[in-house]
Chains A and B, each alone.
Chain A
Amino acid sequence: MKRKINIALLRALCIISAAFTCALVLFLLVYIFAKGVPNISWELLSTKRSYLTGKIGILPDILNTVYIIVATLVFVLPLGVGSAVYLSEYAKNKRLVAVIEYAAETLSGIPSIIYGLVGMLFFCEFLDMQTSLLAGALTLVIMNLPTVMRTTQESLKTVPQSYREGAFGLGAGKWRVIRTVVLPGCIDGVITGCILSVGRILGESAALLFTAGTAHALNGFFAGLRSSGSTLTVSLYMYVKEEGEFGVGFAIAAILMVLTLLVNLLAAFVGHRFKRRQNDE
């Protein structure tokens, strides 16, 4: 009898926990959209902030977010894919591989505030980039490197060994084999890495506060990279915490939620296709 009660209790607890998790997500979605959507207007999205009229527009913040995503990916993709290729195609020394993998794990465990601090010291001060989107992007490159590296490595594992043998058997050199046969096969992993990185960059704030800065100026891409600029996430923090503009905060939060949803759906979609292709082979 007691046993039955215990079992029923544990079962109920499991279900309640899962239901709680779901309810939490549902609450967050409903609450943020209810508070945020009424505050989103075309004017908010299409203008920049004017201190003269006191009006707030987040166009520069949207553009800054796009700029920093593009700049980060431009740097992190070659680095991440390159290190993954080194690990799975070139590296023979097991110790070295273990060291590199440990380093990657360490990087993914470091909190973003520390990245922000080191980014500020190294990029902004030591390399004299000042507080700029570029310094922010480079900081994000270090943060996202392990992600791109891991997803690429996973998909390199799925490139059949027979492709490599076939190409080597025709007398192709190592680099040619990698470029023509191996790399095209791991494109899924690279895309997954990109999507995950975009998600992380969208959500990042602590690492950017002291590296990319908090300015709301409207700039072109290259001018933007050289000057201080606030991404959507950083702007949310600044508007809410420093200025008490909760309406704008919720509007940005709603936009960020939509983007997060999109990134998640995209990642799920690509992951699904990825699996299916693996099963085909």
Chain B
Amino acid sequence: MKKQRAFENFVHGIFLILGLITVGFVLLITLYLIIAGIPAIREIGILDFLFNTKWASTASEPSYGILPFILTSVYGTAGAIILGVPVGFMTSVYLAKLAPAKIRTVVSGAVSLLAGIPSVVYGLVGMMVLVPGIRKLFHIPDGASLLAAIIVLAIMILPSIINVSITASEAVPREYEDASLALGATPVETYFRVSVPAAKSGIAAAVVLGVGRAIGEAMAVMMVSGNAPNMPELFGSVRFLTTAVASEMSYSSGLQRQALFSIALVLFLFIMLINAALNFFLKRSKE
């Protein structure tokens, strides 16, 4: 009997460890990024690192300013949101409220396929279709640009925005909508005047999730944005926070390598902020 109890305690202990392992992983990642990211920031100086506009890591007198990357990430994400959110949101309204059941199934299937396509495939198509397209349309020497990245990101965040907005608008109590319909409002009016305001926290969560996806995407962006460390310009070749890490990691060394870790740390801080915001909106929408 005692043996039995000891065994149960042992099993309980094992599951406790398994339960805590997620927390352990988060701590591991945070710790590693801080330990790896701090030294370069200290050596370069935080102000110089964050606000210097020149990144020349392999020059004879290297300069490690990541302002171009930060701004590119911010502009790129903002652009993707501006393009992606209206389309995603409208699609979600159509799916949640207007579409007949059959069409709904087909379109939802298409949306989840969109979510499952690997980012390198988006990158490939962007590289072969978008980049030459932009070059010809705007008569610029190279189409690999911030604009191309924005378009690819806008497409890639569509499924997240659509799915989260659908969940949010489905959570609106039917009584609200019925009340509005009973007052003589048409269905479309009801959705935009009643359902959407009621679901606004959930929709905000969708936008924030889209921001998180866009700012964290690396490979697709790397294939279409040109990768030069310039200050952001819509038609210019640019480098994002994510691609800054990815493009130099394989051949970096010394301070350059450490600076890449620092960039990852900055990216991580952005993500943590976005996560906190996401959590805030998700909680509010549940209430």
Residues 231-281 of A contacting B (Cβ, < 8 Å) = 233-234, 236-237, 240-241, 246, 249-250, 253, 256-257, 260-261, 263-264, 267-268
Q: Taking CB as reference atom, which chain A residue is nearest B111?
A: A21
Q: Are A174 and B261 in contact (CB under 8 A)?
A: no
**In the complex, what distance in Å separates the CA atom of A39 from the CA atom of B92?**
37
Which residues from B are CB-within-8-Å of A91?
19
Interface size on A, residues (CB 8 A): 85
Shortest Cβ gap from B62 to chain A (Å): 21
Q: Name which residue of chain B comes closest to A241, CB basis.
A: B223
Distance between Cα atoms of A111 and B90 in the complex (Å): 27
Bound-complex Cα distance A240 to B166 (A)? 36
Interface members, chain A 57-104 (any B CB < 8 Å): 78-79, 82-83, 85-87, 89-91, 96, 99-100, 102-104
A82 touches B20 (CB 8 A): no
- The answer to whether A122 and B28 touch (CB under 8 A), given A109-B275, A113-B245, is yes
> Chain B's interface: helix, strand, loop or mixed, by majority?
helix
- With a cutoff of 8 Å between Cβ atoms, the chain A residues found around residue B246 in the complex are 113, 116, 206, 209
**B188–A7 CB distance below 8 A:** yes
Given contacts A145-B25, A241-B223, 14 further A-B contacts (CB under 8 A): A15-B94, A104-B22, A113-B245, A113-B246, A114-B29, A115-B29, A146-B22, A149-B22, A174-B11, A202-B118, A206-B218, A237-B223, A241-B222, A249-B124
Q: How far is the CA of A14 from the CA of B279 in the complex (A)?
A: 28
Query: Taking beta carbons and an 8 Å cutoff, which residues of A are in contact with B?
Result: 3, 7, 10-11, 13-18, 20-22, 24-26, 28, 31-32, 35, 78-79, 82-83, 85-87, 89-91, 96, 99-100, 102-107, 109-118, 120-122, 142, 145-146, 149, 173-175, 199, 202-206, 209-210, 233-234, 236-237, 240-241, 246, 249-250, 253, 256-257, 260-261, 263-264, 267-268
Given known pairs A107-B25, A233-B120, the reply for A87 and B268 (CB within 8 Å) is no
Chain B interface residue bracket vs A:
35 or more
Chain B contacts with A in 179-230, Cβ cutoff 8 A:
186, 188-189, 192, 212, 215-219, 222-223
Contact indicator A21/B116 (Cβ below 8 Å): no
Decide yes or no whether B121 CB sits under 8 A from chain A: yes
When distances are taken between beta carbons in the complex, the residues of chain A under 8 Å from B16 are 86, 90
